[in-house]
Amino acid sequence: MGKSDSTGKGMKPEEIRAAMYLNRVKLKDIANDAGVSIGRIHQVIYKIGRNKGYRIRPYIAKAIGKTVEEVWPDETNKESGEACQRACL
């Protein structure tokens, strides 16, 4: 559990939060790294609103030791996702 399965469904919000807990990462840690509010991180994890948070996803994935594609395989924006992936390394 908590891992991306072979069907390409990615991780559920609860799995992301569990991985954050296991890695001792808090929403505020990711928010500080990404330069956004804690609420914005919550919105991206729980897919709230129209904006998908492509710029923020790499920060969340990095914090839990995964790639963006492992966490959100069906929704990865290749253009902005790759640029953001390089930016937060």
- Its pTM surpasses 0.85: no
Establish if 35 belongs to a structural domain. Answer: yes
Domain hosting 31: range is: 13-87
pLDDT in tens, 3-57: 544 456 899 999 999 999 999 999 999 999 999 999 999 999 999 988 889 999 9
**83 falls within a domain:** yes
Tokens, residue 12: 């559920």
CATH number at residue 20: 1.10.260
- Structural domain includes residue 3: no
